[in-house]
Amino acid sequence: MSGKLVIDTNEFLAALARLKPVAPRRRKTTLVGISKRIIEDDFYISFLFGEAVFSSHGVQTRCVVEQADWHGYVSTDFGMILTFLKVKPTGKTVTISFLGNKLKIDSFSITCQWAPVPDWIGSMSTEALFLSEKAKSRDEELFCPKCGKRQIIVLSHKPHLQLELDAPKPPKTLPNRQCKSCKHGWLEIL
């Protein structure tokens, strides 16, 4: 399996700049880096209706292609692609090609995964990636219903292994969340 895309260098760099995550506004003296979670994210390249589609989870951009022989999409690391914003290609065009499990952008080669799919399935896949959200930990969003603070402990209950005389019966539904500050417990339905 192989494929090839030829893109104008300015178009390629503009598309990557649109995908780069923006840091929050801070003072000019503060250094802001890209988080490790974003760098380890997946990056997808596909060709749909005469345009190259670059997408990651929740972000998608398109750019015009000069020449293409590409049927499917490639998945690789986002952090490796972002290096092209620091070290810009020197030529007039950028050639993106793959052979087997190697993606080659000009002379830079990285590992990738190739999925040979028809154009309509590739379109559905890129739209699903655009609309998807990364799985957030629900514990970050939860507030205590009694005091309103966001200090939550996730509880896991283990059954009693030893029988005790006059032991209190546990309630039928044990709480799975507890507030650190007021010790209020509740059952959160997941």
> Residue 8: its pLDDT value, please?
92
What is the number of residues in the chain?
190
Task: State the Cα–Cα distance between residues 59 and 49, nearest whole angstrom.
Answer: 19
pTM higher than 0.85, yes or no?
no
Task: State the Cα–Cα distance between residues 55 and 129, nearest whole angstrom.
Answer: 7
pLDDT tens, position by position, 43-61: 888 888 888 888 876 678 8
pLDDT tens, position by position, 10-35: 998 888 888 776 555 554 544 445 55
Q: Among 57-61, 118-122, 160-164, name the most confident range.
A: 57-61
